[in-house]
Chain A
């Protein structure tokens, strides 16, 4: 009998590893950005957009945000698996979080390349 549940905990090593890789990406980006901003004596609109208009900054910011979305998806799924028992509700939250994360990713591209 096939007894696999789509919302179960049988994802194994892959997500565990991705959770940690995305965490390292986010930590490095956050520290770098915070360090840069704290050392910046005068921050205004021109300096802010100047920072984000370079291609490497856009790329790494998108990498950071994609890491956030993937990391959040795994985290929310872990929380849901622990506290939400009905499979239907689990699946609904699951699908919702995936869709929202994809929309966020599209939005992030629009934000970063849309000014």
Chain B
């Protein structure tokens, strides 16, 4: 039987399935949050230490670029949060069938983006 070797896969047509996409974003968002940790701790410190540092922090946070960065971190947190809940559910054997897994990964992407938009609008 002729198996036509070597096989030529059309790599540019092969796409990461949706759950895989959510998974890699889970890693990227987690890494982003880890990198941002010292900044976030510094913000907590400035917000608590004294009324002077608190006002200083608010002034820095008012800068548009800083706001944009925080919005990015907010998305990273929300995506990591939603995808994490999805993994916890899958660990408990909920939504492990393919159709459900696809639907829930779509939900993770949409819900985290919508929540980012809503919270972002509320905060600014």
Which residue numbers of A lie inside 8 Å of B, CB to CB?
Answer: 20, 23-24, 27, 30, 38, 45, 48-49, 52, 68-69, 72, 75-76, 79, 104, 107-108, 111-112, 114-115
Main secondary structure of the interface of B (DSSP, over half): helix
Interface residues on B, range: 20 to 34
9-residue interface stretch from B3-11, B37-45, B64-72, B106-114? B37-45
Q: Which of chain B's residues have a CB closer than 8 A to the CB of A107?
A: 41, 45
B91 contacts A38, CB within 8 Å? Answer: no
Give the docked Cα–Cα distance between A24 and B85 (Å): 9
B30 contacts A75, CB within 8 Å? Answer: yes
Of B34, B85, B122, the residue contacting A72 (CB under 8 A) is B34
Main secondary structure of the interface of A (DSSP, over half): helix
B81 contacts A38, CB within 8 Å? Answer: no
A115 contacts B48, CB within 8 Å? Answer: yes
B38 contacts A111, CB within 8 Å? Answer: no
Query: Contacts A111-B45, A114-B49 hold; do A30 and B81 have CB atoms under 8 A apart?
Result: yes
Shortest A35–chain B CB gap in Å is 12
Check B31 for interface membership: any CB of A closer than 8 A.
yes
Nearest A residue to B28 via CB reads A79
Give the docked Cα–Cα distance between A75 and B32 (Å): 12
A76 contacts B31, CB within 8 Å? Answer: yes
Shortest A6–chain B CB gap in Å is 21
Shortest A50–chain B CB gap in Å is 11
Shortest B31–chain A CB gap in Å is 6
